[in-house]
């Protein structure tokens, strides 16, 4: 997969662009600017490019996922403290925080798996959307069930404490 990304974006890097310029200009006898315009208009490229004076400028994506990556890492680090705190000192706030952070953490991980492995190229347009829809339904139902358990039953932390008290 990484190789296909490198090959698709080879024309955007300076080293490959010079090789591509020398090779293709000799064989096709077309100017380099026409070749770059033709490459940037190719439907196979995931990100469209626009020709600027001296270089190719990559157009912005529909969403900025770098902020989400930071939030995912912050949630993972927060779980390192919330999990033991929930089990050692069970209360409704820690139980709710544990439920929310755990479900969000699992949801993001499973969403990444679904996006990576259930691709429209392989399965068509409907099945990836269905898989993500089912993932959202399962995540919402799980979060709702855990919050219900925390507020109407004994809670997650107290349940784990009761398991610890079970003797053989």
Q: Whole-structure pTM over 0.75, yes or no?
A: no
Any bridge partners for residue 57, and if so which? 50
pLDDT computed for residue 146 by the predictor: 97
Are the C-beta atoms of residues 45 and 39 closer than 8 Å to each other? yes
Torsion, Cα of 98, 100, 101, 105 (10° steps):
130
pLDDT computed for residue 84 by the predictor: 95
In whole angstroms, give the CA distance from residue 58 to residue 65: 16
pLDDT computed for residue 6 by the predictor: 53
Run of H or E residues at 4: helix 2-8
Q: Which domains does the chain have, with CATH numbers?
A: 2-58 (no CATH), 65-165 (1.20.1300.10)
* 115 backbone dihedrals φ, ψ, rounded to 5°: -70, -40
Low-confidence residues in the chain, pLDDT < 50? 3, 16-17, 19-28, 43-62
């Amino acid at each position: 997969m990484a190789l296909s990304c490198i090959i698709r974006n080879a024309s955007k890097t300076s080293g490959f662009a010079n090789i591509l310029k020398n090779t293709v200009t000799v064989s096709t006898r077309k100017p380099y600017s026409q070749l770059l315009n033709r490459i940037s208009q190719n439907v196979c490229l995931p990100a469209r490019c626009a020709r600027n004076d001296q270089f190719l400028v990559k157009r912005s994506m529909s969403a900025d996922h770098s902020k989400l990556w930071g939030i995912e890492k912050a949630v993972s680090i927060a779980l390192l403290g919330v999990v033991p705190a929930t089990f050692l000192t069970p209360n409704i706030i820690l139980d709710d925080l544990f439920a929310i952070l755990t479900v969000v953490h699992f949801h993001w991980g499973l969403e990444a798996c679904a996006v990576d492995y259930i691709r429209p190229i392989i399965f068509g347009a409907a099945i990836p959307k269905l898989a993500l829809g089912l993932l959202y339904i399962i995540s919402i139902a799980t979060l709702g069930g855990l919050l219900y358990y925390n507020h109407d039953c004994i809670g997650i932390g107290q349940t784990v404490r009761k398991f610890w008290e079970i003797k053989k």
